[in-house]
Amino acid sequence: MPDTTSPSAVRPYRSARRAEQARQTRTAVVAAAREVFAERGWAGAGVRDIAARASVSVETVYAAVGRKPALFAAAYDGALVGDDEPVALVERPEFRAVGEGRTLAERAAAAAELIAAINGRTVRLLLALREGAASEPELAERLVSDDANRRLDTGRGLALVLGRPPRRQQTDLLWALAGAEVYDALVNRSGWTAAAYRAWLTKTIIDLNDQE
């Protein structure tokens, strides 16, 4: 019996399948990059190491994501928001949720939980970024832009928590105290539990409201 399948009907299916395979490969490469950069830092992480972790060839890594700076950017961006979807942090439900509590304490606790989760995912990558920025102009530029963006997001989040625009000093203090470096010092190097860190940050945010 002759095959009556239309070639035009087959092509979209094959194209969709190839696109899904490409997406899965990219996801695996980015996840591997995230692990390797976090474990070994910038200098210790090689593209071959990432390819081996993802069980693909070096050529596949380059084709799926790009060079080492692009690999790092994809790894860090995904760690920041918790997945590889191209949705900015401030547009996500968990960010908007920091303004939904009935009391300041509830909103501060939600903000502290979000910040703790982000820092837990990104702290090792941020250390790798700072290491790489010393020798890679592309990473140095990223470090500056990330700091500026985090300051903006801190102000937006604090406005949701306080229910009003924060003063510049309030934003500056939270931007400094809620950074991954402080998380690293308290949790990773001083042995604080995640719960203790969240409780401290919640109180810190509440106290900012009194600094009029």
Mean residue pLDDT of the chain comes to 93
Let me know if residue 167 belongs to a domain.
yes
Q: What is the pTM of this model?
A: 0.87
- CATH number of residue 27's parent domain: 1.10.10
Q: Quick one: which of 118, 203, 105, 112 has its CA closest to 163?
A: 105
In Å, the largest CA–CA distance within the chain is: 83
Residue 81 counted as domain residue: no
**Domain co-membership, 106 together with 163:** yes
In a domain, 75, yes or no: no
Residue 37 belongs to domain spanning: 1-68
Residue 78 belongs to some domain of the structure: no
Q: Could you tell me if 50 and 105 lie in one domain?
A: no
Q: What is the pLDDT of residues 138-160, one digit of tens each?
A: 999 999 999 999 999 999 999 99
- Both 41 and 113 in one domain: the answer is no
- The CA distances from residue 115 to 27, 81, 120, 123, 132, in Å, are 24, 11, 8, 11, 24
Entry field: residues in the chain? 212
Please report, to the nearest 10 degrees, the dihedral formed by the alpha carbons of residues 154, 178, 95, 111 taken in order. Answer: -120
Confirm whether 108 is domain-assigned. yes
Shared domain check, 21 and 124:
no
Number of domains in the chain: 2
Burial of 34 (0-12, 13-18, 19+ CB in 10 A): buried
Instruction: Outline where DSSP puts E strands in 80-132.
Output: none
Residue 195 maps to a domain: yes
CA atoms within 13 A on the CB side of 96: 4
pLDDT digits (tens, 9 = 90+) for 24-81: 999 999 999 999 999 999 999 999 999 999 999 999 999 999 999 999 999 999 999 9
Closest-CA residue to 36 (of 27, 26, 46): 46
